Every structure is written in C-alpha cells, then in structure tokens.
Structure 1
Amino acid sequence: MPITLTVPEGLLSQQAQAQAFAGLTDAVLDAAGLTGNDFMTANIIGTINVLPQEHVLAAGEPIAAAFVELKLPEIALVSAEAKQAFFEKAADVIEQAAEGRLKREHIWSNIVYAPEGAWGIAGRSYNNADLVGAIQGAVAAS
C-alpha cells in the first residue's frame, strides 16, 4: 500500500523523514484496524520525494508544504471515519516532524484507490477477496 510523501528541501531532516514515514505507516495500520498485521505491515511501502523549494507550490507560489498520497485497493479505508482518522494522524505526524517549520493548513493528503484486481504484490495480481484472505491469514498465523 504505497505512501508518497512530498516535501521541499530543508523542511524535514533525513531523520525526521524516516520518523514521518514510520508514523504514516502506523497511521494507515491504525485507521484500517490492522496494527500488528504482518501481511499489511510488510506491504506498506513508499517513497519520500524531496523537491527544490521552488517546486513545491500552493496558489502558484513556493511554500513550505507537505503532500501525502496513499494508494490502496478499493476495499481499504472506505468509511468516512477511517479516512478521517488517517488524515488526522497523517497531519499530526507531519506537523510534529517539521518541528514548527510548517503550518498545519499546509499539509494536504489524498487517497487513490486501485480498481478490483489491479493490485500486484511480488508479481501476483490480487483481487479484493485475495487481499482479504491474505490479511486474515496473517491474523490467523499470529
């Protein structure tokens, strides 16, 4: 379940970037009610994009901002409550990592859903039932 964190240079130290990504991972697991699920934890992956300051914009102007994009299968985080829980925790994580160098209103997040059967892990296509089975199998194995 890829997470993409995009920030301008100088906003987060390398240590803060790593802490933020770990916090975003926890936010996904918490919002999905899957903290401790080995299958889900192993499959939350992602990238941190650090761009030149002049390439991070709001209202057409450079700004200290953070963008969090989460890609999920269409069965995940579908309730309004789960989405809200993720967005709140993600903003908390990024705000804390920025150590006062970022206004909360300059943290944007979104969720993009992959359609049924369009999720691949280790070269295998997963449909929604397969994903649920893998998640439940991890619960049973623990």
Structure 2
Amino acid sequence: MPITITITKGVIASERHGKVVKEITDSFLEKHGLAGNTVMTPNVTTQLHIQPKNETFSAGEPIEGAWVEIKSPSFALADRKVQQEFFAAVTEIIYKHSDATLPKKHIWTNAVHTVDGSWNMDGIAMTNEELGAAIAKG
C-alpha cells in the first residue's frame, strides 16, 4: 500500500525522516490489526518527498506543511474508527517530529482506494478477495 509523504523542507529535521516513515507505516499496520503480518508489512511502501519552501502552497500562497496520501484496496481504511485513529496518529507523528512547530492545521491527509483487481503484489494483479486471502496467510 503506497504511502506518499510530502513535507516542506525544514519542517522536520532530515535525521528524523526515516522515523516519520517507520512510525506512519507501523501505525497503518497496527490500526488494521496487521502488525507483524509477513505478507502485508513489506507491501506497505513509502515515497518521501521533501519540497523547497517556495514549492508548497495553500490557497495559492506559499506555506510550510505536510501532506500524506495512502493508496489502498477498498477494504483498507474503510472503517470510520480506523480512519479517525490512523489519520489522527499521522497528524501526531508529523507534529511531534516537527518539534510541535508545524501547526496541525498545516498537516493534510487523504486516502485513495484502488480499483478492485488492480492491486499488484509479487507481480500478480489481485482482486480484493485474492489480496485478503494472501494477507490471511501472513
């Protein structure tokens, strides 16, 4: 499940970038009851983008911020409680690693659900049912 994290340069010290990625990954797995799942854990991937201060905007104006988007099958992040808990955790993780200097209102999150049958794992495009069966083995 690809996670894309975009942060304005300087919001979080570079030596903390890996910790942010790890904590968000662990939170996603934990909120779905998949912590330690040998199938799912290596398939939660992340791209971290650090943008110069003049390349991040809100309302068309430069801003320091953080954006987190996760792409997942439709059964992930489908439960309202999981959505609330996961995105609250993401916000807290980023806020904490900014040394509480980035206002929470400058941390944006969203999820995109993929088309059933398009989830690729180990070179095989899987349906939600096939993916669920693979995850259950882990």
User: TM-score scaled to structure 1, two decimals?
Assistant: 0.93
Separation in 2, partners of 1:112, 1:34: 19
Q: Report the residue type matching 1:120 in the other structure.
A: N
- Which structure has the highest helix share of the two? 1
Shift of 1:56: 0.7
Separation in 2, partners of 1:40, 1:48: 20
Unaligned runs of 5+ in 1: none
Q: SS of the counterpart of 2:133?
A: helix
CA RMSD of aligned residues (A): 1.0
Q: Which residue in the other structure is 1:71 paired with?
A: 71
Q: Which residue in the other structure is 1:8 paired with?
A: 8
Shift of 1:30: 1.7
Separation in 2, partners of 1:51, 1:104: 18
Q: Which residue in the other structure is 2:118 paired with?
A: 118
Runs of 4+ in 1 over 4 A off after TM superposition: none
Q: Report the residue type matching 1:30 in the other structure.
A: E
Task: After TM superposition, list the pairs within 5 Å mapping 1:11-90 onto structure 2.
Answer: 11-90=11-90
* Percent of aligned pairs with the same amino acid: 33
User: TM-score scaled to structure 2, two decimals?
Assistant: 0.95
Separation in 2, partners of 1:96, 1:15: 14
Separation in 2, partners of 1:129, 1:100: 41
Q: SS of the counterpart of 1:67?
A: strand
Unaligned runs of 5+ in 2: none
